[in-house]
Amino acid sequence: MAWKIFGRTINKVGVIGSGNIGPDIALYFSKVLHGHRVPVVVVDIAEVALKSGEARVKGKVGRGVKTGAFKKDEADSLMANISWTTEYSQLKGADLVIEAATEDKTIKGKIFSELEKICSEKAIFASNSSHLEPESIFEEAKNKKRCLVVHYFFPAERSIIVEIVPGKDTSSEIADFLMKFYEEIGKAPIKVKSRYGYAIDPIFEGVFLASALLVEKGMGTVKQVDAMVQRALGLGVGPFTAMNLTGGNPITHHGLSEMNSKINSWFHSPKILESQVTSGKPWDTPGRGEEVKYNDNTFKTVSNILRGAYFGLVCEILDSGIASIADLEMGVENALVMNPPFQMMNKIGIDKALELVEAYAKEWPEFIVPKVLVEQAKSGKPWDIPLALREDKDEVALITIRRPKTLNALNSTVISQLNKIFTEIKKDNKIKGAVLTGFGVKAFVAGADINELARLKTPEAGEALALRGQETLNLIENLGKPVICAMNGLAFGGGNEMAMACTARIAKKGLKVLAGQPEPKLGIIPGYGGSQRLPRIVGLSNAWPILRTGNPISSEEALKIGLIQEEVEGDVKEAGITFAKKLISGEAKVPPIKREPIEIPKSLPDVDIGHLSRKTDEILKESVLEGAKMTLKEGLKHEAKTFGKCLRTKDMRIGMENFMKFGPKRNAEFSHA
């Protein structure tokens, strides 16, 4: 069986190398492809490596069964879908091959030379190199158009970031396909221009180098510096611990040495790393749960030094032009599990960030102070970190909300950026319509940012927050140009409210969970128009149980009651663009939302709200029923005011605290007050 996707057909996927990362890449591919019956073939010349890789995958899948991540039959299917072989001939018919062998240009060249004899001209060849430029890896390739780097991060089956690095001869069609393909299979790809080390590794290895230099300077032991750096930069694990986990000493030693000539002379392999590579021993790092003691003043000094290095490293990448702020911010936060750098700089102030970088460069003169940071400090403005991205497709603007870590949840920054984007679209005579979508395949928008909601203290603050959000949604609704919401996944709370502000909505077909207003489960009511637009779009009788229970509906049910106009198979974004063009040309029409008061049925469906707050339910019913008697404009203002009323209840605090502590799976114990 084959998977036809974005104009290509995937019959088989190959992974070459069963060492540190190849088996994890194969595991992820099989997880997403076994349902399509697309086999994954792992090739390695060493039987022992294949057996080790297979055992590792079995162990991970087995643990997944125990934790409930996989059902037993799913795990069996996943494992059966991967074959392990020493025979390159088994890659015949593969449409995508990922090489994950030793970081050696000669070895990689021989592998791809062999693949050219076996695979068709249509097959895509990718190297999971962590450093080498694609031009170097594929120097001898006969067809360079199909060749590029796809760089995974540890652990490859869990880390969502992949760097897509085209070479100067790589076909743009293939690079664009892989960007869409990896997003479709649940990754977060970032496109990076070709340069040694790409965008993320010089930051990872640079932070390690800065940490090693502190040890050499006597600022602390390896264990102490590891713990201090982890705390200072919000790392998931310290830099020395990361080296132990990934077996990264040899490749980092080589990478830092090469960066010395290919990036700048500050990069070099420190003496303590050279010694560690020679000895083959792991670093002496903190054990699980071990408390590492260090002086507070020392920590403050180390923290400032490391932040200076960190900010300088990130801005050097930005200066080089190989990656954007948006991609760097997302890539570093998710691939390296670190505090997002540009947010950190904005928080302490750009002047302070520059001061830290300049102080670092004074201590280590070969370290370069990036021009882009100097210019940003001169501007007196914080970094603009795009979370909503615009891309024009002829006369249609495609806007994508991209916050994969939070399933694209709305916060004040996203709302503000959307307001700016849609204001520009309204004024742009070249743009006749727009498509609004979310990044990835799980969610259009999973709701409003709970952290922001939890910080609200007064009814007035609640009302103000609702009105600010409504301002942007009203802009979308009254743009004067059709806006299609391409619901690529679930739309909860503010996400569904934003979708309803659009001219029309389409969704991926077969979504068991598509849309809902789960606010009552948090002890609040909708604030961005849910209690007003939903009854006007689907009818009050249909909206009544959705609003009061907080339970979601499927894409099939959404189509049935008129919440969406179409269920789409295939690329929902492209379908959205097509739909927008039909509305622009007049080929298709969508009835406008009712703006006048709507009729309240004599009887509404009985609704069992179960454990939910009766106090919140009273406020919700007031918002819905009183708002129905008003115009939409008046009803939205009324909803904002009633949303503010939730701040007077005990149940809002109970609901918020329960969610912050336990997430959505545990019901809050409401007091009904």
- With a CB cutoff of 8 Å and minimum separation 6, the contacts of 180 are 6, 571
Active site residue 497: yes
Backbone angles phi, psi at 553, to 5 degrees: -120, 160
| Residue 671 burial (C-beta neighbours within 10 Å; 0-12, 13-18, 19+) | middle
What the block records as the tokens of 212 is 């090693």
DSSP 8-state symbol, 599: P
**CA dist 326 → 189, 192, 341 (Å):** 12, 12, 11
Provide the phi-psi class of 480: left if phi over 0, else alpha when psi is between -120 and 50, else beta. left
What the block records as the tokens of 453 is 């909601």
What the block records as the tokens of 158 is 């869990």
* Cross-strand partners of 15: 42, 98
Rounded-to-integer distance, Cα 212 and Cα 283, Å: 11
Instruction: Please report, in angstroms and rounded to a whole number, the separation of the first and last CA atoms in the chain.
Output: 57
Q: How many CB atoms lie within 10 A of CB 390?
A: 18
| Residue 68 burial (C-beta neighbours within 10 Å; 0-12, 13-18, 19+) | exposed
DSSP 8-state symbol, 553: B
Sheet hosting strand 504-508, strand order edge to edge: 388-393, 396-401, 433-438, 483-487, 504-508, 566-568
DSSP 8-state symbol, 146: G
User: ∠ CA 201-332-204 to the nearest 5 degrees?
Assistant: 30
Give the orientation angle of helix 47-67 with respect to helix 72-80, to 10 degrees: 160
DSSP 8-state symbol, 61: H
SS3 81: coil
616 contacts 643 by C-beta, under 8 angstroms? no
* Cross-strand partners of 400: 389, 437
| Residue 114 burial (C-beta neighbours within 10 Å; 0-12, 13-18, 19+) | middle
Longest alpha-carbon distance in the chain: 83
396 contacts 452 by C-beta, under 8 angstroms? no
Backbone angles phi, psi at 12, to 5 degrees: -160, 145
Rounded-to-integer distance, Cα 639 and Cα 265, Å: 60
Q: Which of the following is catalytic: 519, 567, 622, 639?
A: 519
Token match 């006048």: residue?
596
Among 528, 534, 439, smallest CA distance to 487 is for 439
Q: How many CB atoms lie within 10 A of CB 134?
A: 24
SS3 161: strand
Q: Which of the following is catalytic: 54, 333, 463, 497?
A: 497
Query: What secondary structure, in 3-state letters, does 465-518 show?
Result: HHHHHHHHHHHHHCCCCCEEEEECCEEECHHHHHHHHCCEEEEECCCCCCEECC
Q: Where are the alpha helices (DSSP H) in 121-171?
A: 134-137
Q: How many CB atoms lie within 10 A of CB 224?
A: 21
Active site residues: 497, 519
